[in-house]
Amino acid sequence: MPILAHAGLLLTWDLAAHLGITFFWLLLAFVGLILGSRRLASLKGPSGALILTVAVLVRALMLPLPSTLSDDIERYLWDGKVVGAGFDPYLYEPNAPELRELRDEAWERLPHRQVPTVYPPLAMAVFSVASRLPAPAFALKVLLTLFDLAACALLLLLARAVSLPTSRVAWYAWNPLVTLEVAGMGHVDGLGVACMVLLAVCLSRRPRWIGVAALAAAGGVLVKLVPLVGLPSWARHSGRPFLFVSITVGVLLVALVPVVVSSGGLPAGLVTYGLDWEFNGPVYEPLWRLIDRLEAPAAISRLLDSIKIRSGEHDFWNQFYPFNYPQLWAKVILGVVLLALLGVPLVRNLPLMGMQWIFGSIILVSATVYPWYLLWVIPWAALMGNRAWLVASATVILSYIPQFTEVSLFPWVYLAVWLPPLIVWTTDRWFTD
């Protein structure tokens, strides 16, 4: 009976309602990760089987948890249900009258019901499959966990291929943030990361697996659009860039052109995300406040006034005023910075380090950084031994505080999240230089 009681508690435990206890157990899990990885590094002989065994066990513990820290899985399953019913989720938001017959109790809990989906077609396919299975939420978490475990196995192959200690894979395979966000909360990022690790494995064996590499790159983009910016770098590293680009772009065109056509351009959900979403951006948060403090938008408005008067084209220049606000200027500046940062792995042809650089740069300049976004950079930080990003994988969990309490993100939670990784990065730079 006690075992059944504990099992029942695990099945109904609300992490969001018990943030203090949740953070305590996650802290213990990170301490266990540190101690376990050190012990693992000291062992002689192969460690891959042990890494995968523990990875399976920790994910099995997370699977029964209800996804209360994030409601994304509710939206995943709704979008899958919409696809299964024959409707276009890029065209119809959950509040659309056309989808009234699909509404149920889950619809009441949906986030952003006024916004059409932002997820690309491969993610949609997985959502659609899970929505038709018994216990859809649990089924989706199982599917994504299997992909996540595949990423762990592929990381072992990659570590051997590039002559790095396989023990470093534990920093991803046993990372509490990874297990929480994929097996626990059911985030689709686990599938995207698996595609990226497969891509890295294929690139390490070029050019024999270039076709699979291109498909993996396309798969990552079709889970989330984030990897799109890395295609030029990966094409160069493939050794046969024309073939790589041809296959990747060909697959993306087949999958994405129907979306663009049905939406009449960029999907409305994607535009809303780009313009309106913002949360916990490491550079974005202080940058837009600095722009506002310097009263840059007011200066730009005065410039527009002057141009408008001199040119006499009032209607033309009036359309720019709604876009003159600090948050948008910060996004524009960081977009330019990202383009410059992405040129580094392209020019220097960095293989594994390039993966960390690309996804790390995206996170640093993003206006929105939820905890599960760091999953894209953790595999490469693990293999490269980047302590700053690994520390960030622990501290970023604190960003759940403003989502479930009355505590604001800026400045104290923001500093608690990003200051420790910055200190570690600065310290490592001093000692290595």
pLDDT digits 0-9 by tens, 226-285: 999 999 999 998 989 999 999 999 999 999 999 999 999 999 999 999 888 999 999 999
Return phi, psi of residue 278, to 5°. Answer: -160, 130
The 3-state DSSP class for residue 407 equals coil
Other CB atoms closer than 10 Å to residue 82's CB: what's the count? 27
Q: Quick one: tokens of 74?
A: 């509710």
* Spatial CA neighbour of 395 closest among 175, 149, 193, 73: 175
DSSP-assigned letters across all residues of 176-197: HHHHIIIIIT--THHHHHHHHH
* Spatial CA neighbour of 172 closest among 374, 360, 423: 374
Other CB atoms closer than 10 Å to residue 374's CB: what's the count? 26
Which residues form the domain of 99?
2-262
First to last CA, the chain: 59
List, in order, residues 6 or more apart from 203 with CB less than 8 Å away: 213, 234, 237, 238, 351
Element (H, E) at 126: helix 121-131
Task: Please give the Cα distance from 185 to 111 (Å, whole number).
Answer: 15
Residue 368 lies in a domain: no
Of residues 104 and 56, more confidence is placed in: 56
Element (H, E) at 359: helix 352-365
CA distances for 1 relative to 4, 8, 38, angstroms: 5, 10, 37
What is the per-residue pLDDT across 317-341, written as a single tens digit (0 to 9) for each? 888 899 999 999 999 999 999 999 9
Q: What is the mean pLDDT of the chain?
A: 92
Q: How confident is the model at residue 185 (pLDDT cuts 50, 70, 90)?
A: very high
Handedness of CA 184, 187, 189, 190 (dihedral sign): positive
Residue 345 lies in a domain: no
Other CB atoms closer than 10 Å to residue 388's CB: what's the count? 18
Residue 255 lies in a domain: yes
| Residue 386: exposure state from Cβ atoms within 10 A (0-12, 13-18, ≥19) | buried
Q: How many CA atoms lie within 13 A of 321 on its CB side?
A: 14
Mean pLDDT of 179-194: 98
Other CB atoms closer than 10 Å to residue 321's CB: what's the count? 14
Task: Give residue 311's pLDDT.
Answer: 87
Mean pLDDT of 188-208: 92
Q: If you search the block for the tokens 């980047």, which residue do you land on?
A: 386
Domain count, the chain: 1
What are the residues facing 279 on neighbouring strands?
A: 368
Q: If you search the block for the tokens 């997985």, which residue do you land on?
A: 126
Task: Give residue 284's pLDDT.
Answer: 98
Mean pLDDT of 42-55: 88
DSSP-assigned letters across all residues of 194-248: HHHHHHHHHHHTTTTTHHHHHHHHHHHHHH-SGGGGGHHHHHHHTS-HHHHHHHH
Of residues 10 and 121, more confidence is placed in: 121
CA distances for 406 relative to 279, 280, 400, angstroms: 15, 16, 11
Residue 172 lies in a domain: yes
Q: Which amino acid is at 399?
A: S
Other CB atoms closer than 10 Å to residue 20's CB: what's the count? 7
Q: How confident is the model at residue 431 (pLDDT cuts 50, 70, 90)?
A: low
Task: Give residue 12's pLDDT.
Answer: 59
* 9: pLDDT strictly greater than 50: no
Task: Please give the Cα distance from 413 to 280 (Å, whole number).
Answer: 9
List, in order, residues 6 or more apart from 226 with CB less than 8 Å away: 192, 220, 359, 362, 376
Task: Please give the Cα distance from 390 to 392 (Å, whole number).
Answer: 5
List, in order, residues 6 or more apart from 356 with CB less than 8 Å away: 377, 380, 381, 384, 386, 389
Mean pLDDT of 136-160: 97
Task: Please give the Cα distance from 251 to 427 (Å, whole number).
Answer: 43
Task: Please give the Cα distance from 288 to 333 (Å, whole number).
Answer: 10
Residue 75 lies in a domain: yes
Residue 362 lies in a domain: no
Q: Are 233 and 346 in contact (CB under 8 A)?
A: yes
Mean pLDDT of 397-412: 96
Q: What percent of the chain has pLDDT over 90?
A: 80
Residue 432 lies in a domain: no
Q: Quick one: tokens of 95?
A: 């509040």
What are the residues facing 280 on neighbouring strands?
A: 368
* 207: pLDDT strictly greater than 60: yes
Task: Please give the Cα distance from 99 to 111 (Å, whole number).
Answer: 16
Return phi, psi of residue 90, to 5°. Answer: -80, -15
Residue 153 lies in a domain: yes
